Amino acid sequence: MKLVTLLEGIPRVTGRSYALTSPVRTGRWHTRDVFSLFPGGPSTPDKHFISYGISYPMHTGPGIIFAVFAAVVFSAGCLSSIFPDPLPAPTVTVTPSPIPTTESPVVTVPVAQLALQSSDLPSDYILKDRSDITYLEVNQISHDLGWRAGYAVAYYRINREKYDITELRQTIALYSLANMNTVYNIGNDAVASGGTSATATYELPCPNVGDRTTAYRIASNQSAFTTYTIVFIKKNSYEELTMGGTTTDFETLKGLAQVAADKIR
């Protein structure tokens, strides 16, 4: 609204502000209220001055400061809408790549650690003998195939009242890796043809506990003795597990063969 002076002829007083001083309502403010808003105005109502607003110069004061403050707040709001706060950088989780492990193709533990322990067997088995096999104890064929080391262990159980005895033997030999199939074939043939006229040899189904596995039962025609043998190779290890006696258990022998194969690493 354009500000006008209601009563002309009112003298202008430079450097002083005037407000409504007549006891009438102007908008939502009473003239007495408006009067008190402007510094420099008369301290008491003056009937000669009636106007809708300020028509004369004012002293610089809180009004100007308020206007500047409002402008700053307004401009800050505009700037924040134009230039919003930057978004936080996304968190990047780096998952370390697993280190590939390469398993050795040959046995990496001492040969004695491949032998069955008393804790691996049924509690009624007793250690009979265990020892390294020396170079001079093996034949020339084994030397030619790259024999490296050997070990043998034997356990037994006995029931004197029932004349019952069972022996368990494990034989281990390490060879050159390139010759393991030849070693297996020779050893396997030796077990299969190792019977006599008094025995009969039968090949048995057996789960594979290593790279190659074969099992046999050798039954005596003249006694109650029965022998089971499992032959297997894994990495560069050749093993034979044999259980024989008046009481034998092929299932127990298969379980022990798996335990022996698990020791190869």
Read off the pLDDT band of 167 (50, 70, 90): very high
- For residue 95, the model assigns a pLDDT of 73
Write the pLDDT tens digit of every residue in 56-77: 444 455 555 555 555 554 555 5
106 part of a folded domain? no
Q: Comparing C-alpha atoms, which of 56, 46, 54 is closest to residue 23? A: 46
Who's near 249: CB < 8 A, 6+ residues apart? 243
Tokens of 208: 């594979």
Say yes or no: 73 and 164 in one domain: no
Output the DSSP codes for 97-113: PPPP----SS--S-GGG
Residue 27's pLDDT is 44
Does residue 34 contact residue 20 with C-beta atoms inside 8 Å? yes
Q: For the residues 180-187, what does the mean pLDDT come to?
A: 97
CATH number at residue 135: 3.40.1000.70
Same-domain status, 26 and 117: no
Distance CA 12, CA 34 (A): 20
121 and 89 fall within a common domain: no
**How large is the average pLDDT for residues 101-118?**
94
Could you tell me if 116 and 202 lie in one domain? yes
In this predicted structure, what is the pLDDT of residue 16?
A: 45
Residue 135 and residue 217 in contact, taking contact as beta carbons nearer than 8 Å? no
pLDDT for the residue numbered 211: 97
**Domain finish residue from 94, 120, 138:** 94
Range of the domain at 199: 111-262
Which pLDDT does position 71 carry in this prediction?
Answer: 55
196 and 246 both lie in a single domain? yes
Question: What whole-number percentage of the chain has pLDDT above 90?
Answer: 55
Q: What is the pLDDT of residue 251?
A: 97
Q: Number of structural domains, the chain?
A: 2
Q: What's the confidence (pLDDT) of residue 194? A: 84
Chain segment 210-230, per-residue pLDDT in tens: 999 999 999 988 888 999 999
Same domain, 43 and 121: no
pLDDT of amino acid 25: 46
Q: Residue 195's pLDDT is what?
A: 80
pLDDT of residue 80: 54
Which residue would you say has higher pLDDT here, 3 or 98? 98
Q: Is the pLDDT of residue 170 over 80?
A: yes
d(CA 232, CA 243): 15
Tell me the per-residue pLDDT of 125-139, one tens digit each, with 9 for 90 and over: 999 999 999 999 999
Q: What is the DSSP secondary-structure string of 121-163?
A: S-TT-EEEEEEEEPGGGS-HHHHHTT--EEEEEEEEEEEGGGT
Helix (H) or strand (E) holding 238: strand 237-245
- Is 118 part of any domain? yes
Average pLDDT along the chain: 78
Q: CB–CB of 47/22 below 8 Å?
A: yes
- At 88, is the pLDDT very low, low, confident or very high (cuts 50, 70, 90)? confident
Residue 99 domain flag = no
> What pLDDT, in 10s, does the model give residues 15-51?
444 444 444 444 444 444 444 444 444 444 444 444 4
- Predicted structure pTM score: 0.63
